[in-house]
Amino acid sequence: MKHAIKPLRIALGAAAMAALTITGGTALAQKLPSQLTWTAYDVGSGGYNQAVAIGNALKNKMGVTLRVLPGKNDVSRTVPLREGKVPFSANGVGGTYMAQEGMYEFGGKGWGPQPVRSLLLNNSDALLTIVAAGDLGVKTIADLKGKRIAWVIGAPSLNQNITALLAYANLTWNDVTKVEFGGFGQAMDGIINNQVDAAFTSTISGKAFQIESSPRGIAWPTVPHGDKEGWKRLKAHAPFYVPFMGTEGAGLSKEKPVEGATYPYPVLMTYENVDAGLVYAMTKAMVELFNDYKDAAPGNIGWDLKRQVFDWVVPVHEGAVKYFKEIGVWKPEYDKSNAELIKRQKVLADAWAAHGKGSYADDAAAMKAWQKMRADALVKAGMEPVLTEW
């Protein structure tokens, strides 16, 4: 399959390119361009705030200006990467895992499975879960039955995560009232404005703190870790989730934790075709400047090298792998898991190419056919489809 991706090679200039062979702190600054752009979620989101803090460290220590381009959903954050206009994104599970899998919007015309790669994962003390208005009396996920839940158009990660969390309590979207919004920020404002009762967010997002201080107040429905069947249902929809006690964010603390579920966010990600030298330099800068930005935004502690998971659900870019091997944190078994994930992307790409040769009555028929072809290809390859329809 040929993806609609333009090769991305940042113009570093002759001097900077020569510096790629040099080692040491001075050379590090020369390996990154003087201006760099990431996409991230809306202004005020946890990912956006963290990116701005990282940008300050890059500017102060390396003279690199980081522009953070906000996007209201997974698609708008990922389009600039696909088109080769931006090399990196502080993305969510939608723009990484679901983009890789060709699910939801990424299974539609003009998309298909994307050859995404990760650099670093943010594993903070926050949760990525459902937030509810505090005036509802909601305590657990089961209490959301009959409530108004936000559905963000073009944001499969947000919507699928709610689907998975509802499944934990044996609920579906048919058990709640779906309220559509055009973006993450609008959905969160909808809680404050009493247009909706719950939405998906990070506990450290700026919007979560706004909800906490609003007249409605804030609540975090719990996802008890002891309910094994509930967790089995949840992970059938979202294999990237793990049980976690949230201690950071609006209304949370080490003294007042919430028994919940989460996954890495943001994921500093890129595409397979992005220059390995640039990826190496970005990864190295993130690790070596960690102490300069770790306390500058809520959740930044999650970028700590000690918190990294190198065998997650999307492969790590070769440029990042090179750096991790150099500093001795990349184990031989990670090569195997990375190769398997890349193989999975090849299976998906081949299936998409075959799907593209078909003739379909309309977009709905094309999507239905893709769902079956995708699942069949993965099963044939001995891989778990996770979702067979959406």
What the chain holds in terms of domains, given with CATH numbers, is: 14-123+265-343 (3.40.190.10), 128-262 (3.40.190.10)
Q: What is the pLDDT of residue 27?
A: 40
Cα–Cα distance for residue pair 78/69, rounded to 1 Å: 11
Cα–Cα distance for residue pair 259/140, rounded to 1 Å: 10
Q: What is the pLDDT of residue 239?
A: 85
Question: What H or E segment, with its residue span, contains residue 133?
Answer: strand 128-133
Angle subtended by helix axes 228-237 and 156-168, to nearest 10: 160
Cα–Cα distance for residue pair 87/90, rounded to 1 Å: 11
In this predicted model, what pLDDT tens digit does every residue of 283-338 receive, in sequence order?
Answer: 999 999 999 999 999 899 999 999 999 999 999 999 999 999 999 999 999 999 99
Cα–Cα distance for residue pair 85/36, rounded to 1 Å: 11
Residue 216's nearest CA partner among 138, 287, 114 is: 138
pTM of structure: 0.78
Q: What is the pLDDT of residue 93?
A: 87
* Amino acid letter, 198: A
Q: What is the pLDDT of residue 53?
A: 97
Q: What is the pLDDT of residue 154?
A: 83
Q: What is the pLDDT of residue 120?
A: 98
Q: What is the pLDDT of residue 1?
A: 39
Low-confidence ranges of the chain (pLDDT < 50): 1-30
Q: What is the pLDDT of residue 21?
A: 34
> In the chain, which ranges are E strands?
35-40, 65-70, 88-91, 116-121, 128-133, 148-152, 177-181, 198-202, 218-219, 242-246, 258-262, 267-271
Sequence-distant (≥ 6) Cβ neighbours of residue 288 within 8 angstroms: 25, 28
User: 66 near 58, Cβ under 8 Å?
Assistant: yes
Cα–Cα distance for residue pair 1/194, rounded to 1 Å: 46
